[in-house]
Structure formats: C-alpha cells, structure tokens
Structure 1
Amino acid sequence: MQAKKKQGFLSFFFEKDNLFPIISAIAAGLYPLLFYYTNNYKLINSWGHFGYFISLFILLPILVFFIANKVSEITFFRRLRSFKLPFLNFFFFFFFLNIALYAGFSWLRTFMVFVIASLLTFLFWKHFKKIIAFQFILAVIGIFTLTPVIIKQLNYSKEWMIQPDGIETAVFKKKPNIYFIQPDGYVNFSEMKKGNYNIENTAFETFLTDNNFKNYPNFRSNYGATLPTNSSLFMMKHHYYNNGSDFTETIDARTVIVSDNSVLRILKNNGYRTFLLTEQPYFLTNKPKLGYDFCNFSTEEISFVTTGLGNPRDVIKPFEDYLETYSEGPNFFFVEIFNPGHIINREAKSKGIAGEREHYIESLKEADKKLTELTKTILNKDPEALIIIMADHGGFVGMKSVEDSYTKSTDPDLVNSIFSSILAIHWPNGEAPKFDNKLKTSVNLFRILTSYLSENDLYLANLQPDESYIIIYYGATQGTYQYLDGEGNVVFKKH
C-alpha cells in the first residue's frame, strides 16, 4: 500500500503538466550554478556550500515554479498562464547570474533583473522551449568549463608542505608572547622613499625605532597576493603558485592558513594559545575548520555568498579583551589589518596611476594609526614581547591597477612595487639573533624565528630560496615566473 502511495506521488510529480515547470526551473539555475562554481571554486569548496547552492540554484526554483504552475490554474490567474514560466525562468536565470558575478545581493540589480525578465517574457514567450534548450546547451558548456577546475583540485599534491627536517618538533628554550601583525600591502620603508612611491612616512618609522623595533630594509614577499604569501609563510615552504593554479586563489590556501600548518603545529607543541583576529573574513569564506584556539569571526556568521571583503570589523577592542583575559602566556596572535592594501584590482575602476597612489597614501595613514595603537597596547601590557610587523606583499603603486601586474615587466620599480614588504621586529630585551641577517623574504620568517626561540641553528640549514614568483598572462607564455632572485635582482625565468 505504501509503495503504491509513493508511486502515486512520483507519478503526480512527474506528470506532463508538472514535469515541464521542473525542467524550466532546472534550466534557469543550472548554468548559473556551474558558472559560479567555475569562477569561485576555491571560495566555496566545502560540502556545506555545495548543499546550500544546490538548494538555492536548483531546489528553490523547482519549488517556486511548481507552486506558480498550480496557482495559475486558478481562474483569476489563467490569463497569465502562458507567461508565468517564461517570466520565472528569465528572472531566476539572470538573478542567479547576478549573484554569480557580484557574489552578493542588491535590490537595485534585482529590480533591473525584474525589468529585463519582463521585457524578455513579452518578446520571447512563444519561443520559450527554444530558450530552455539554449540554457541547457550553456549548462553543458559549463560542465566542460568546470571539469578542469575540479580535476586540478583532485590532483592537487600536498608534497610541497612536507618539511625537510624535524622543525615541527622544535622545542623552544624561550617562550615570549608572539604578536604577528600583518598590514595588507604595506611596502618596506626602503622602497617607500623612492621609485613609484616616493612617500614621506618618517613619523611611523621613527615611532618604531623609538620603541626598539629593528627595521629590515629591502625585505620582500615571495608572492604577489595575500593567500599565496600566507600559505607559504605558515608552511615555511615554496608552493610556486601550485605551478600556475591561480594568481590569487592558491589551492587550499585558506585551509593551510587557518586550519593546519607547520607554524601552528610548532606553537601548539610548545604550549602556545593561538588567536586569529582579522578585519575581514577573507580567510574564512569557504568555512574551513579553525585551527586557532580563538577567532573574532565564527564560520557560522559568514555568508555562503561572499567574497570575504566588506566593511572592516574592529580588531583592536577584541585584541585588548584577549590580552586582559589571557594575560598569562605563552600566546600567539595573528592580527590582520587591511590597510594600506593595494591599488584597485580592475583597470575599469582605476583612478589612474597618480590617483591610485593618492588613495594608497590615504590608506597608509589609517594603517599607521592602527599599527601605532596595536603596538602601544602590546608594549604597555607586555614590554618584552616578540612583535613582528610584516606585510603580505607591496602596494602595486606605479600601476593603473593590479591587472597590470599580469603583464611581463623588467622595470625594477614596478617589480619591487609588487613584492616589497615592511618587516619590523621588536625583539625581547632588544636582542636580535646573530643570524637575523638571513631575514630577506617572508617564506623564511618563521623558520628563522623557530631557530631563535629553540636556540637551534640547525634549522637554518633548510632555508628556502629567497626568490619571488608571479603568474604572467600577457607579454610571455602564460605560467609561473621567477621575478626576483635570491639577491633581489629582477629576473624573468619560467618555473
């Protein structure tokens, strides 16, 4: 009897009159779903995201189309019967494409979609079946486009993460509280005074010197974006952009940065509490498991549809609260602030070379203000702290937009504008290790700090090459290139 009921329900659901609305609904959501995954896979590569987007792009339209089809059978709505499915199909199709393109919702864009859907319904309702066929053709193309992205993820090798020695079992002889503060895009003082920057910023440089920070001129990042730099930084290894996987979204970078990495293992093995404070949930968009003990964001509060960038959240107040609550160390703080940042990403929105430089200068002032407040707070509470201020990359000043960096250049000022990064360290008791002259690039920072804290110079035998890499799309064969050699000289060698 129960089997008959089930069969009756399925036959009702897939009757001819009910099946066409379902097909129309799937056609509206399938290509936008595939498009969104193809262009944002590394932002949303979790099962939670998969369930959410299947529900949003496929199941929700099916439900709406099915109900609308039944409602249209009511006498009052019959005159609209021929238009309901075309309108819903056009509306959902373009609404979902809007979400896929902008990774967010806008009432203005939704109203525009409504108008477009209404107009297309009026013009093409008689050709609706052909429209559906075209949408399914787009979906087939979308499958072929998405497949290489998934294959690349499935074939991703983690070999680059394997350490060549036993550094992850290092035992610290000294355990100061460690404060790693990362101002996005803050160029080194040595570069800031010349080249395309030519910015006067002696006030903050003097502030650091007066507070016993040691500045490291000509320090630079190994990669030209936040995720590639930080995944390399915390694994203390080169990944070479996963051999050309992507310029900005290195495979599994967020998981490496916030879930599990060599630096976190070393710290936890030595009894450190770990704190992650960030102004934006950029590291958490794919909702990775948190390997830090504390974070000012929870993955539950992060939207499934987001770029991880928006209005910055204050980190200073929660930072002060953590300092008060966990005054007994050892503690490790990773504090990410998004000033000064870099110039605009897209040339279409650029203010021009001069305009972008001016914007950088204004944002630099905000960065100095935040860094000064954070530093004063730490030194008031913890005068013998190990404080590291290190940027993830440069500010790209001298270009119209970050897009310019994808084109081959041999101009030292432009190349250094990508990689030059501030490094200033407050060493406990003002005693820097004798090997701190090896601090040249970000990939080796924590290996050198581990040698310092464990008082074991043997770990220095496996420092990574101090070379900087970028992905080039234009002006040369697309691929990963070495842009700076170990001495900071501009080179151009395909990896």
Structure 2
Amino acid sequence: MAKIVLLQLFLAIITMPLLVETILIRSSYSNSWTTQNDTIEEVLFQKKPNVYFIEPDGYSNFSELKKPTYDIDISSFENFLQKRGFSNYPEFRSNYTSTLASNASFFSMKHHYFNNDLKSDEVQNARDIIMYDNPVLRIFKNNGYKNYFVSDSPYLLANRPKTLFDETNFKFWDLSYIDNGIRKNRKDVVSSFKEVFNKQDSEPRFFFIQFIKPWHISGKEGGSKGVDRERELWTERLFEANKILRQIIDEILAKDPQGLIVIMADHGGYVGYNYSDESRTKTSDPNLITTIFSSNLSIHWPDGIAPSFENELDSSVNIFRILFSYLSNNEAYLLHMEDDSSYILLRKGTEEGIYSYIDDSGNLVFKKLQL
C-alpha cells in the first residue's frame, strides 16, 4: 500500500507542471475571435422557411469522389438529389481538418486558426461554442426560430456544454464522464429526426442533424488497415450515409417541400492516406491535400431559386453568412465574408506550425501562418 501511495505521489509531482500550464492556458483563453465585423447578429429575416442543416461527417464532395483517389460511382445519389431540386457545389471545401475545429469555425462564421496553439489541432471550448456560444444559434433565436439538435452520437455534447438548442435527442443522463461521445452503438438518427420533425410547432424551425458517416479513415497508425482497405471501408460507410440522407430528405420534402435543406460535411474522408493522422506530415501531393478538405455541399433552395450570389459558396466558414444574406435579402452582409483558405497543423516534414494548404482562390499553396 505504501508503495502505491508513493507511486501516486510521484506521478502527481511529475504531472503538476503540465497541469499548471494547462490551467494557465485555459484561464487566459478568450472567445473574442468569434466577434463579428459587422451587425449580422442583428439581421432580420425577410423569409422564414424551416432550415435543415444536415452534416454527414467526412463526406467528400462529388467532384472529389470522381478522382482516382476515391474512384467511386456516386451517380445514383447525385441523380436522387437532382430530381429533388438540389444544387450541388463542386470543389466546395472545409477550412479545417476535424469535426470540432470545422464546426466551431462555421457556427461562428469566423476563422480561429486553431487558437494559434500548436499543442492541439482542436479548438478550446469548441463544444461550448458549437452548442451554445455562437452567433448562428443566436440569430435563429432572434428571428423566432426553435432550434433542434439531432445526432446518432453525443460527440458534440461530450463535455455537457450549455446549449441554445430547444431540444436535443440526448439527455445529460445519457452522457458518460469517461468517453468522447463516439460510440459503436449509435442512435438511429432517422428515427430520432422523425420523432422531433413530426411534432407540431407554430414557430419556424432550425434543425442541426449530424451523424458520423461516412466519417474518415482510421485515425491512428495502429488501427489502419492500409490505404486500399481503408478506402473500401470508407466507401461502404459512404453508401450507408447515402441511405440515411435519402430517408431524411424524403421525409422532409413529403411534408415541407419549401424547406431550406443544406447538406454539408465538416471535412473530407482522408481516403488516400493510411490513417488520418498521417496528414500531419507535409505533402505536396494535390490529391492528399484535397482529400482532407473536400466537403460535400448540396442545397435545396425554396421554390428552386438559388440566390444570385450562390457563386460565393466556396468554403464552410462563410456558409451561414451567405444563408443569412439570402434569408434577409441583404447582400451587404457579404462584404464581411471570411477568407476561404483551408488550414492544417503540420508536425512532420517541415517546421511545426499552422499552414494554409489552399488559399482564398482555391489554389494549392504552402504558407505558414505567422503566429
């Protein structure tokens, strides 16, 4: 027993400096980067359709799936969307490499540049920002919307954040204190959505529907099955994701044909790598860059009429600013769009740092962010 106590004391002593450093970093952290450069938080919608924001995790763009890296025939699902009035946006991309980093950015309509922190490629307070402290949810609330979050996994709720969603399909007693929310046994997101969707509401509704498919390839080297097998497994999950999307979309359009439906992934599938963390090593291979950021964007515009500025839809950080410009009939908000560059934290093959791999114009670059 004495030896165990001494061991615990020793471990506590050697980890104390790291704990103190972490506390100091966290205590000095600020969400000020989410502050807008204009008055968009005061935006008033001129039209108020129900808005369905569907996020299939790691779903690369159709244009990417046609490249040799993926080489997947997605024509059946493309035709499905076209027949239902969706517009697809080829070459659309995410600005960041992970779910939390990407969502924190586009729900804030701002870049965070990984908080200029080389210790983690995530974002401080990301879940709190995504679920509660962001202008997107406040704007919907201010315009009389009820906000709903539906997911197959409590990943975005793992640290029990405050929430501006009126309802989620996970309750706090569903959440564990010892996991990150990604579970093998996941909820049926279609059934969960239908349960909420079929409730009667007099207010317009914003739905954030998220599910972890097709996801990305294995994250760590130890779990990798090699490039070819990882591609095969990702492809299987892609078609499972398509099945989910078909069911959700048909359910919506059968009862709300004038809904604004946005399908947008948080990042690419990383197909072409052995494992996703391999991407933290510098590469100049265009296919190994676009596979990280390529993000599917397909939108069902009410009445089938897209705004004249739909060509501004290049990257995820500006998605909600563009949608709010559309809903408010006010293009002035487009004057304060963020740079469309895509960023990654590299650890090997170059000086460790945050780099831009894709610039504002969509060109492949290699430029270190000066912290």
Q: Same fold (TM over 0.5)?
A: yes
Pairing 1:264–2:137 present:
yes
Which is worse superposed, 425-434 or 322-331?
A: 322-331
Asked if 1:420 corresponds to 2:298, the answer is: no
Partner SS state of residue 299, structure 2: strand
Choose from 25, 35, 44 the match for 1:152. 25
Shift in alpha-carbon separation, 1:247–1:424, aligned structure 2, 3 A: farther
1:356-402 deviations in whole A, cap 9, x for unaligned?
00000000010000000000000001001100000000000000001
Quote the residue 1:384 is aligned against.
258
Q: Which runs of 5+ in 1 are unaligned?
A: 1-84, 86-127
Q: Tell which deviates more after alignment, 161-170 or 241-250.
A: 241-250
* CA distance in structure 1 between the aligned counterparts of 2:120 and 2:232, rounded to whole angstroms: 26
Superposed displacement of residue 246, structure 1: 4.9
Can you list the C-alpha shifts for 1:301-357, whole angstroms capped at 9, x where unaligned?
211111211111112122112222135441000000111000001111111000100
Aligned to 1:239: 112
Q: Give 1:454 deviation, angstroms.
A: 0.4
**What is the distance in 1 between the residues matched to 2:188 and 2:19?**
37
Matched position secondary structure for 2:198: helix
* Cα distance in structure 1, aligned partners of 2:329 and 2:173: 41
Q: Is the 8 A contact 1:342 1:397 kept in 2?
A: yes
In structure 2, give the amino acid aligned to 1:204: F
Tell me if 1:473 matches 2:347: yes
Structure with more of its chain in helix, by fraction: 1
Q: What count of residue pairs does the alignment treat as equivalent?
A: 368
Alignment match, 2:272: 398
1:167 aligns with 2:52: no
Q: Name 1:63's counterpart in structure 2.
A: none
- Please tell me the residue identity of whatever aligns with 2:172: T
Match of 1:330 among 201, 204, 220: 204
CA-to-aligned-CA distance 1:130-181 (integer Å, 9 cap, x gap): x643442221111112222222111112221110000001000000000000
Q: Distance in 1 between matches of 2:37 and 2:121?
A: 27
Q: Equivalents in 2 of 1:248, 1:281: separation in Å?
A: 20
Question: SS at 1:469's partner residue?
Answer: strand
Counterpart AA for 1:439 = L
> Alignment partner of 2:73: what SS?
coil
Distance 1:234 1:195 in 2: 32
Root mean square deviation of aligned Cα: 1.2
**TM-score normalised by structure 2 residue count:** 0.97
Deviations 1:438-483 (A, max 9, x none): 0000000000000000001110000000000011111112121111
Q: Quick one: percent identity of the two aligned structures?
A: 48
Give the Cα–Cα distance (whole angstroms) in 1 for the partners of residues 87 and 52 of structure 2: 15
* Structure-to-structure mapping, 1:81-480, within 5 angstroms: 85=1, 128-129=2-3, 132-310=5-183, 311-480=185-354
CA distance in 2, matches of 1:136, 1:416: 48
| 1-structure distance, mates of 2:7, 2:150 | 47
Shift of 1:248: 4.6
DSSP 3-state at the match of 1:325: coil
* Contact 1:227-1:248 within 8 A present in 2 as well: no
Give me the TM-score of the superposition, normalised by structure 1. 0.73
